[in-house]
Chain A
Amino acid sequence: MATQVDDARIIEFDVRTDEMLVNMGPQHPSTHGVLRLVLRTDGEIVSEVEPHIGYLHRCAEKIGENLTPRQWIPYTDRMDYLAGMNMNLGWSLCVEKLIEHELPEKAKHLRVIIAEMGRLASHLVGMGAYGLDLGTFSPFLYAFRERERILDLFEEACGARLTYSYLTPGGATADLPNGWLQKCEAFLDQFEPVIQEYHALLTTNAIFIKRTANIGVMSGEMAVDYGCTGPVLRGSGVDYDLRRDGEDRYTELYDGYAFEVIVQRDGHYPKDHDYPAVPKETVLGDCWHRFYVRMLEVVQAIDLVRQAIDRYSTASGDWGVPIKLTHKLPKGEVYLETEAPRGQMGFYLVSDGSSIPWRVRARSSCFCNLSVTSELCRGCLIADVPAIVGSLDIVMGEIDR
């Protein structure tokens, strides 16, 4: 805390130290884009962190008031640009909820394949970038090696590698090309054993555990209080995953799929796979657990994609023809949240009866996850700030919209 100059005892008996205000960002290697953190530090100890956001504000909501829902799809890509597919999915479902559009069976399984692959791609970046935050460079490139292969698959499906605009209200812009499923399965077969490498390099690495265990501990109540969702919430031991607990329109995509929500229940994570053991020094809700949940979700996503491929290849119906570009929306308002890789991505759509929404609102998961930063970083060391912010796995595009 601030040393009081007029406190005679301190001047007399102690070395007087001054607090320093340091700007971490918006140009900083480990703030995941253009986040600016104002740190109030006393030496290496951070007494206060104030996040400043808005550097990537692109007025997506205002633009949404001037475009039809299908025209707004590319703008959703650019929110969480590491998981554009999941953003597409959220908005598509929201629009479909308003126009009460029912999807063919095959389109639902296609969405599961695409969404879970998107989750894979996103968590890979999250994992690699977290390694970067802690000062190890190699896992980042390993992660990108695999991510590139997912992007190759996406490119084959929709022609884009980052901003897909693939899933749209009504279904998808095109069916998966011939041979895509085989390639996808080949990728999964190659990828699954590689995860052990990541566990060896990061999850169970002694230095990694030292850097993340018991750092940035967040209780379940606190996580809910701050509106944290996704792996951040589940890393704190709250059993809540919209794929199981969400609205019917969303959960029906996952109807009949076998998956267990990745969360610690009674001191144990699901044991459906050979996961590394939880180290003793970790505390539920710390950075390590958030990372661990993400790693386990990678395995879970692989399982889900496998199941979805089986169902997709035998499902009836088509891949879902997109609605008209100027589809007239009924009057009303809907809110729908989906489980994006970084948490619950919500879209709120108010329509006045024309084909252009009256109001579009995107509820960003990272926005809420980031708001807890100043609480978590209080009293930590400077080196812990990237560790904590990295464990929240934020994407500024989604926060600033």
Chain B
Amino acid sequence: MSGQNLVERLSKRFGGKITGSNLDAIDPWIEVAPGGIAEVCEYLRDDAELRLNLLNCISGVDYFEADPKKAAKAGWEPHMEVVYHLSSTFNKHTLVLKVMLPRWKDDVEGELPEVQSVAGVFSTANWHEREVFDLCGVRFMGHPNLRRILCPEDWVGYPLRKDYEMPLEYHGIRGR
């Protein structure tokens, strides 16, 4: 199934929840609304033709440039992306889904952006979403156990955000 067909088919089924696509990229991707990702994933997994049953990876990417000069040239508004890489063990094809989020929920600093969890669709998402939450600071709604996974429970901040600063001290250990 070509990319264009797939996008049309998904748009027909999910309407506004498919918010965009880029089919010219090296890995073409489809953009999904934060509230529809679980539905879309479930459909992609169960559809007899697609059978994208393996969730390879969930990655969080922070698009933020502190330097205003560079920010002007960057070509994007500051935002957060959550990227889902799916593949099929039956048909041997892959698909990339993206969810665009604001860096902070309602632009209130400290309020984490929210996206629907897909842990109910793919069990592997459980740990991946915890990692994205831990390192990038994205809240996955409906996740059964959204805790930090790599950093200690009492760690402050989200290290893979571009404006992250290492704490000065952690339990008496010098940070920077």
Contact = CB atoms under 8 A, between A and B. Distances in A.
A366 to B, nearest CB: 11
Interface string A230-241: 000100001110
B11 interface: no
Interface in B142-176: 148-152, 159-160
Contacts of A245: 89, 92
Interface stretch (A33-41, A120-128, A344-352): A344-352
A375 B135 CA distance: 25
B4 interface: no
Contact of B150 (A98, A227, A358, A400): A400
A108 B94 CA distance: 24
Contacts of B55: 227
B61 to A, nearest CB: 5
B10 interface: no
A98 B53 CA distance: 26
A240 B74 CA distance: 40
B127 interface: yes
Interface stretch (A22-30, A156-164, A176-184, A330-338): A330-338
Given A335-B27, A335-B96, A352-B74, A227 B54 contact: yes
Given A61-B135, A371-B126, A348 B26 contact: no
Interface residues of B, number: 35
Most chain B CB neighbours (cut-off 10 Å) among A53, A239, A335, A344: A335
Chain A binding surface SS class: mixed
B47 to A, nearest CB: 15
Given A332-B26, A333-B25, A352-B74, A344 B56 contact: yes
Contacts of B89: 224, 233, 238-240, 245
B7 interface: no
Interface in B41-57: 53-57
Given A54-B150, A238-B89, A346-B57, A98 B124 contact: no
Contacts of A337: 56, 87
Given A346-B85, A375-B123, 15 more contacts: A62-B159, A228-B124, A238-B89, A239-B89, A240-B54, A247-B94, A333-B25, A333-B27, A335-B96, A337-B56, A348-B59, A348-B83, A350-B61, A367-B131, A368-B128
Interface of B: 25-27, 53-57, 59, 61-63, 74, 83, 85, 87, 89, 92, 94, 96, 122-124, 126-128, 131, 135, 148-152, 159-160
Counting from the closest, the 7 A-B pairs by CB-CB distance are: A227-B124, A363-B57, A54-B150, A245-B92, A361-B59, A240-B89, A371-B127
